[in-house]
A and B are shown apart, each in its own frame.
Chain A
Amino acid sequence: MTGLAVDDAAWASAWRTRSPVDKLVLCAGLVVCALVLPVWPGGVLVALAAVVLALGPARVPARTFGRAARWPLAFVAVGALTAVVSVDGGLGWAPDAAARAGELVGHSVAGGAAVLLLATTTPMTDLLAALRRLGVPAAVVEVAGVTYRLLFVLLQSLTTIREAQTARMGHSTWRRSYRSSGTLAAAVFTRSFDRARRLQEGLAGRGMETGLRVLPESLPSSRGFLAATAAGLAALVTVGVLA
């Protein structure tokens, strides 16, 4: 595990230069529709819209999108099965189990696709800037920003150290694997603190007094995009409620 595929997709996406607020409005709308509209046909249309928008205009690689969906799908499958199994006097299916399971899976797939559309088109830094504008305290956004930027360095360290441990038979048995994992976690901890201290010293040397200021990138909102979003969501709701 080195880079994060979803993050790579977000930076490379054709929608990268769109305003994060525009994309947030679209995806939040889709997420809400997925949650409250009946699965047929509303939820199915939400899922279709999210996938078509991601793979079409946003040009997210289909492979990345599909791979990212695997984990949530595993949870949804196990969770939905557990929800519709009845324990009343031995294992059995609850009444209308198939319909209920279908409904659960439908809502989750539609919602998951809508969140993934946001995740694969909007880098975290843009989202954090948008959160700041929505009133989240600057200190919190800055801590989250440092977390985001340190993630990749630490994940890289994790991979490198693990590789070195494996090459030295560090993961050949269970016992060694636990030992190595403990050392690995400790190494990541000391490295994260060391990084933070060195960054802090560097910034202090450059006169940091308040906050980590970076030049905000100007990503203007598009009226056309917002109008199309409003029209599309309205159509979804109409079809979802009437049908």
Chain B
Amino acid sequence: MHIAEGFLPAPHAIGWTVVAAPFVVHGARAVVKEVREHPESTLLLGAAGAFTFVLSAIKLPSVTGSSSHPTGTGAGAVLFRPPVMALLGTVVLLFQALLLAHGGLTTLGANAVAFAVVGPWAGYGAYRLARALGAGLLPGVFVALALADLATYVTTSLQLALAFPDAAGGFAGAAVKFLGVFAVTQVPLAVGEGLLGVLLFRVLTVNARPELERLGVLRPAATSGDVR
């Protein structure tokens, strides 16, 4: 769930836009460079953006009763790396704001920080760490997607707590409230997204091996069928 248009006071909206800007500009530079060197990447990157958008439209059955949607940025971070995801995630947020009325324009910066920067980096960091510690691809993907999902909502909660400190408890009190409403309820969904990622990558390692090798997720040398 993204922060709706008009929900954040103006100074916060501007502040978060300033925070998001360098990451998005860095992502844009990476994309411009990639497209200059390989013009055909335009279509591939566009496909990656569309995939991220569509992934967030898949409904997952959830423990809390209602169906919920994955964020999709964890998978994107593993497949396309966080700098590119900063840009693609922001484009997806813009589309969600204008095509689905999820999120908003003045809150685009704050949502980009949570959804396109913190989520992908947290997920990718966890993925690299897990792989460095000797975990296989699938456990790495699980922690990446679960953590990216959770980190996104923790960030959103903290952004809201910062904007609306509790009358008595201040920032900490407000953080407890918002984390309780937006992040704790998200834990089962984060686990669900991690599981979805495992199922997704298990199919991809069999059916889309060349694509994963091209993206550098799998080493070309590995023998086919080796899920690790």
A binds B: yes
Note all chain B residues with C-beta closer than 8 A to A31.
5-6, 105-106
Shortest Cβ distance from A203 into B: residue: B43
Say whether B181 faces chain A, with CB atoms less than 8 Å apart. yes
Say whether A225 faces chain B, with CB atoms less than 8 Å apart. no
Note all chain A residues with C-beta closer than 8 A to B195.
178, 182
Note all chain B residues with C-beta closer than 8 A to A144.
46, 49, 91, 94
A76 to B3, CA, bound (A): 8
Interface string of B63-99 (1 = CB under 8 A from A): 0000000000001000000000001100110110111
Please tell me if the beta carbons of B60 and A181 are within 8 angstroms of each other in the complex.
Answer: yes
Residues of B contacting A: mostly: helix
Contact A140 to B32, CB < 8 A, known contacts A35-B13, A204-B40: yes
Please tell me if the beta carbons of B43 and A146 are within 8 angstroms of each other in the complex.
Answer: yes
A60 CB, min distance to chain B CBs, angstroms? 13
Q: In the complex, which residues 198-212 of chain A have their Cβ closer than 8 Å to any Cβ of chain B?
A: 199-200, 203-204, 208-212
- Which of A51-59, A102-110, A234-242 is found at the contact surface with chain B? A102-110
Contact A75 to B1, CB < 8 A, known contacts A147-B53, A158-B57: yes
CB < 8 Å: which of B61, B95, B211 contacts A147? B95
A1 CB, min distance to chain B CBs, angstroms? 6
Residues of A contacting B: mostly: helix
Number of interface residues of A (CB under 8 A): 84
Say whether B21 faces chain A, with CB atoms less than 8 Å apart. no
Interface string of A58-96 (1 = CB under 8 A from B): 000000000011011001101100110111110000110
Contact A35 to B47, CB < 8 A, known contacts A142-B42, A186-B203, A200-B40: no
Shortest Cβ distance from A151 into B: residue: B50
Please tell me if the beta carbons of B207 and A190 are within 8 angstroms of each other in the complex.
Answer: yes
Q: In the complex, which residues 210-234 of chain A have their Cβ closer than 8 Å to any Cβ of chain B?
A: 210-212
Please tell me if the beta carbons of B7 and A139 are within 8 angstroms of each other in the complex.
Answer: no
- The chain B residues found within 8 Å of chain A, CB to CB, are 1-7, 9-10, 13, 28, 31-32, 35-36, 39-40, 42-51, 53-55, 57-61, 75, 87-88, 91-92, 94-95, 97-102, 104-106, 160, 164, 166-169, 173-174, 176-178, 181-182, 192, 195-196, 198-200, 202-204, 207-208, 211
